Each structure stands twice: as structure tokens, then as C-alpha cells.
Amino acid sequence: MTDPSLPEVVRIASDLIRFDTSNFGGGNAKGEREAAQYVGAYLEGLGLAVEYYEPIPRRTNVMARVPGRDRDKPALVVHGHLDVVPAMAEDWSVDPFAGLVRDGMLWGRGAVDMKNMNAMILTSVAEILRAGEQPERDLVLAFFADEENGGVEGSALVVQNRPEWFEGATAAISEVG
């Protein structure tokens, strides 16, 4: 259990780290289903309609659209990935999937790539919506499977089979810009 006195963004990042979404590449992965369900439940708690796409068992992608004030403006995709590269516990001084806060730092696989950023996306949108505000234009929030393997079993299949998720979008931002 994450300390409830910690900021929400830390609690969410810690929770996400606890889902072992290790991706060994080449279709060998533990899967993102539980992490995607966690993200989806959080977004539903904000009043957003959530869609899931699981083209391969346990390789789950999740999306929600935040309506903007000006629906005529092109939508912006803000996206993250839910998988992580493998962590060998013997190489760590802490359990890589415990999501521990120690010495003022969050420790665990995904604390830097990219469960931290996913938590920032979620809490930033939450702050906007909880304040009764809307973004200027629609935001498409997408959280993909399989980024650590080039998106073959994640974003590539989403774009191919769920293009409506990105209707009206002209730009996207993520962990590297």
C-alpha cells in the first residue's frame, strides 16, 4: 500500500510499477492487461468513457477522449506505454516491482520509463477536470502495449484496427516530445 500522504502522482506511479508488465521482446511479455485496467478505472473515475483494445491476449491498450472547449480544433494525442523492459531482481537493491518510496525517491522498473510519465498524464488531466475546466481542444489519451518491442503488438495494431481512436488528431506528444 502506498502512503496516502504522498502526492497523487507518486501514488499512481507507485501503483503502476507494481504491475509487472515486463516485455522480453518477440511476443514474449507478461502483458499489460492489469495496468491498462487500472488506468481505465482511473479515467472512468474522472467521468471519461474508456475503450480497450486487446488484439493479442493480455496485450491491452486503453484510450479515452477528453472533450475540448473548441471541438473544431484538431485533437492532440497524449500517449504513453504500459510495458517495461525486464528487471532482474538480483541486480536491484529493492524489489523492482514494489514501487517503493525511499530516501525521497520512487524506486522500481518504470519509475523513469514510463510509468512516471503515465502518472503525470493522468494526474494532469485529473487536475483540469476536477477544477471543472476543459482543455482548449480534444485530448486523446492513449496508453499502449508493447512499446519496448517497437509497438508491434500495441500501437501498430491500434492504428491499423482502431483508427477512429485518433479521429481529428493532427499531433501527438509523449515521453520524448
For residue 119, give the H/E element and its range.
helix 115-130
What is the CATH number for 33?
3.40.630.10
Q: How many domains does the chain have?
A: 1
Q: What is the identity of the amino acid at 89?
A: A
pLDDT band at 149 (very low <50, low <70, confident <90, very high): very high
Half-sphere exposure at residue 160, Cβ-oriented, CA atoms within 13 angstroms:
9
147 is catalytic: yes
Any domain includes 76 = yes
Which member of 32, 83, 148, 153 is catalytic?
83
Residue numbers of the domain that contains 56: 8-173
Any domain includes 39 = yes
Any domain includes 3 = no
For residue 50, give the H/E element and its range.
strand 50-56
Any domain includes 1 = no
pTM: 0.97
Which member of 32, 147, 148, 153 is catalytic?
147
164 is catalytic: no
| pLDDT (average), residues 5-21 | 97
Residue with cell 472547449: 69
Instruction: Give 58's contacts (C-beta < 8 A, 6+ positions apart).
Output: 29, 30, 31, 32, 33
pLDDT tens per residue across span 40-89: 999 999 999 999 999 999 999 999 999 999 999 999 999 999 999 999 99
